[in-house]
Structure 1
Amino acid sequence: MYIPDLYKNENREDIESFIHQNGFAILVNQTNGKLWATHIPLILDVNTKGKQVLVGHISKANPQSESLKNETEVLAIFSGVHSYISSSWYDHENVPTWNYLAVHVYGKVTVYDHEQAVEALKKLVDKYEAQSKNPIRVENLSEKTMREARGITAFEIEITSIEAQKKLSQNRDDKNYANIISALEKTDDYQAKAVAEAMKKNRE
């Protein structure tokens, strides 16, 4: 990912928090001689070797499943809030742009066996059921329902590198920065309002 130095985010704690909060990712690799992408939730975890990994699964019916062999190199893309930035908000002539948050994670795959796959499912379900009024648990699902777990390819991705971009108008002076925030907050777009909030935090 091309990242100008001004927008490069190298704060590991910030990046990890971003992945936890924006866990629905795009998994990309070479499948059958072409680029292939699948939208899936991924969990940031630490494996038995103490290595930081992403954990997830896809359907065995997905052609990408056949290409996910051990040591396969993949890219996971995590996207955050984003918004159009009009140059009409500046006190000078300039071009419009787009503000956004994104993280690219590169790594190598290790495919799980069935027991490991079930453990991965437990972690995934527990994370996203935490806010439910009546949370379900994998441990409580019937044997019949759990047969569906035979239809997935579960895996971990040992992280080899991370690229993170935080493009939030850092190149603007305080006056224009405040103008952008004010304009974003006046819209009815929740993404724009979220970008405004991220901008506030980034220049506290």
Structure 2
Amino acid sequence: MFIPEHYKNKDLSEIHNFLKNNSFGILINTIDGKPWGTHIPLELSKSKDEKDILVGHIAKANLQSKNLTDGDEVLCIFNGPHSYVSSSWYKQEEVPTWNYIAVHVYGTVKIQTAEELMKSLYELVDKYEQKSEHPISLDDMSKKTMRQVTGIIGFEIIVNDIQAVNKLSQGRSHDHPKIIEELEKQGSAEKAIAKEMKKLNS
């Protein structure tokens, strides 16, 4: 993606943390010359040989699954908080803009075995059930319910390239206090951007 140099995030540790906390992404490949995307959890992990990978699954009924094969190159997009920034918050006249955080991951597909798929499903459920008051486990599911697993395919994406952008009004540091003040008056997304701008200034 297009990233002006002063918006690039090159801190791999920070990017990995972002991916772990914003793991609901968009898997994109090409079907008959047309881009195709599916919104799914894509969990950052390590392969057996310690390479960075994304792990996910999609329904076999999804046309995308029929076009995912070993060795395919795909794009995964992850979005963080974003917010409109009014130029009325600036000291001098300028056009308004949008602040946001996003990561694009390019990688190579490896289709999982049935055993690998089940392991990744257990890890996925266990991760997110930690927040539940009464967490469930796949071990508690009946054989009838678990038969739904036959309707999905699992895959790993070996990470080849990561492009990360933190667009946080870096070119307007003199306006940051006012921008942050105005963002903090608004909703959760705007407050999240204000928090990231504060981190940038700390």
Structure 1-normalised TM-score? 0.97
Shift of 1:173: 2.7
Shift of 1:51: 1.0
CA distance in 1, matches of 2:52, 2:22: 17
CA RMSD of aligned residues (A): 0.8
Paired position in structure 2 for 1:9: 9
Paired position in structure 2 for 1:177: 176
Q: State whether structure 2 residue 182 is matched by structure 1 residue 197.
A: no
SS of residue paired to 1:6: helix
Paired position in structure 1 for 2:65: 65
Paired position in structure 1 for 2:100: 100
CA distance in 1, matches of 2:185, 2:45: 38
Which sections of structure 1, spanning at least 5 residues, go unmatched? none
CA distance in 2, matches of 1:139, 1:25: 27
Shift of 1:144: 1.2
- Residue type of the alignment partner of 1:201: K
- Residue type of the alignment partner of 2:62: N
CA distance in 1, matches of 2:198, 2:103: 20
Q: Which moved more, 1:63-72 or 1:27-36?
A: 27-36
After TM superposition, what 4+ stretches of structure 1 lie above 2 angstroms from structure 2?
none
Q: State whether structure 2 residue 127 is matched by structure 1 residue 140.
A: no
SS of residue paired to 1:182: helix
Is the CA contact (8 Å cut-off) linking 1:114 and 1:150 kept in structure 2? no
Shift of 1:33: 2.5
Paired position in structure 1 for 2:122: 122
- Residue type of the alignment partner of 1:47: S
Shift of 1:155: 0.2
SS of residue paired to 2:197: helix
CA distance in 1, matches of 2:55, 2:80: 19
Paired position in structure 1 for 2:24: 24
CA distance in 1, matches of 2:173, 2:92: 12
Structure 2-normalised TM-score? 0.98
Shift of 1:32: 2.8
Shift of 1:47: 1.1
Shift of 1:182: 0.4
SS of residue paired to 1:48: coil
SS of residue paired to 2:158: strand
Residue correspondence of structure 1 range 49-64 to structure 2 within 5 A? 49-64=49-64
Shift of 1:143: 1.3
CA distance in 2, matches of 1:42, 1:124: 10
**Any idea what the Cα deviations from partners look like across 1:76-121, whole Å, max 9, x if unmatched?**
0000000000000001000100000000000000001211111110
- Residue type of the alignment partner of 2:185: K
CA distance in 2, matches of 1:100, 1:93: 22
Which sections of structure 2, spanning at least 5 residues, go unmatched? none
